[in-house]
Structure 1
Amino acid sequence: MNKNDLRYLKTEKNIINSFLECVDDLGFEKTRISDICHKAMISRNTFYAHYEDKYALLNDIISQLEKEMMESYQDKIMIDIMHNDAKQAVTWCFHEVNENRYLIQILLKCSKDKMKTVLYNVFMNHPIDILMKDYHCNLDNIKIKLNQTYIADAWIGYLEVWLNHYDEISMNDAIDFMVKLCEHPIQIYFQQLVHSI
């Protein structure tokens, strides 16, 4: 089957949307292939022509989200690192998460660890990879790693709580509060990165 065929792509999108709805309603563990097929109005054979199982489907969705967020975020974060602009970096981060809020909320229900890894990769590891590749930086420095871990854990935990209480705090208030909590460590981190260039 041609994976670029319009019918194939529409069916795949239908499977993904049906899966997300099922997980939102039932939770990941209780979602069965038959639930996804019923909601998508497809046969099990059609599902298995696209995915091996619900875990493969989940991994595909997570990988695609990670790729899209990295592509969108990479240029923005590099400018912020070079200008030591912690507030703008936090703002971009929140905008990326907000743009994918529904999907991230559902995926957090499926696998918190995988989604935390995605957020960590997008907002922490990816900029490091760019610096190492494009600027030939040596970032194998314990101080950088300690600061990165501190910021990442705070950031990811904060984002998760914000997503779960989205209606209770505006994005701007969440950004301002996050900046107050982490501006100094982020600025130190950005300085460490720039000095390693």
Structure 2
Amino acid sequence: MNKNDLRYIKTEDNLKQALLTLLDQMSLKKITVKMICEVARCSRNTFYLHHEVKEDLYNTVVSNVLNSMQNAFQPRVDQVDQITDDILDEYTEGIMTSVASHKDSLRTLILQDNGLFFKQFTEIIQNTVLKGSSELANHFTVDTQLYSSYLAGAISGFIFNWFKNPICDLPTATKALKIIHRETMAICIKELKKEGHC
């Protein structure tokens, strides 16, 4: 089995799309491998060449989405005192642009989430921010970890709520996130300055 073979890649893509299609209709618990194969138009044997169980396929879908979005969460500056309103706006706009490019997959994963996807989404934001900023990495204190955890949870909460209750369009949601994130970051930066981290 060559994972670089075009047939393998196409079948894998079909399996992922089949799972997302089924998740639009029911929970993962109710989905069977047989159902996935019917939607993907492949045999059970083919499925098992790719994944041991449906949960492996689900985890692959989640990992692909999160890994693809990871770049959007990278800090735009290396030092806290370099953060400006323009940088914060660019950062939140990058996140929402990434959200928009994955909107179908995200909508499905968020609406069927039992809490695990929210946890994974939040962790990837926090870990990416901490690893991407040498200053935060050098001053990895309890307070810094709490601030980054709070911010990651806030961004995740905003995005997840927007998908669950789509009361506005993408540009309006992006504008709202910019305002909220700018105000929250101003408080965090002030506290970090008090602690002497910048």
Separation in 1 of the partners of 2:149 and 2:129? Answer: 14
Change (3 A) 1:169 1:62: same
Q: Which moved more, 1:45-54 or 1:100-109?
A: 100-109
Matching residue's letter, 2:176: F
Pairs aligned (count): 191
Judging by fraction of residues, say which structure has more helix: 1
Answer whether contact 1:28 1:109 (CA < 8 A) is retained.
no
Change (3 A) 1:71 1:92: closer
Deviations 1:124-164, CA, capped at 9 Å, x for gaps:
220211224xx684232222222223222222111111112
1:1-197 equivalences in 2 (<5 Å) = 1-74=1-74, 77-79=75-77, 82-84=82-84, 85-132=87-134, 137-166=137-166, 168-189=167-188, 192=192, 196=197
Change (3 A) 1:113 1:180: same
Q: Secondary structure at the match of 2:62?
A: helix
Answer whether contact 1:107 1:115 (CA < 8 A) is retained.
yes
Task: Report the CA distance between 1:112 and its aligned residue.
Answer: 4.2
Q: Secondary structure at the match of 1:29?
A: helix
Separation in 1 of the partners of 2:124 and 2:145? Answer: 16
| Unaligned segments of structure 1, at least 5 residues | none
Separation in 2 of the partners of 1:70 and 1:103? Answer: 15
Superposed CA RMSD in Å reads: 2.5
Answer whether contact 1:22 1:36 (CA < 8 A) is retained.
yes
Identity %: 24
Change (3 A) 1:7 1:60: same
Separation in 2 of the partners of 1:163 and 1:131? Answer: 29
Separation in 2 of the partners of 1:89 and 1:15? Answer: 33
Matching residue's letter, 1:171: L
Matching residue's letter, 1:98: A
Deviations 1:56-108, CA, capped at 9 Å, x for gaps:
0011111122221124543xx32496433322222211111121111112122
Q: Secondary structure at the match of 2:29?
A: coil
| Unaligned segments of structure 2, at least 5 residues | none
Separation in 2 of the partners of 1:144 and 1:27? Answer: 37
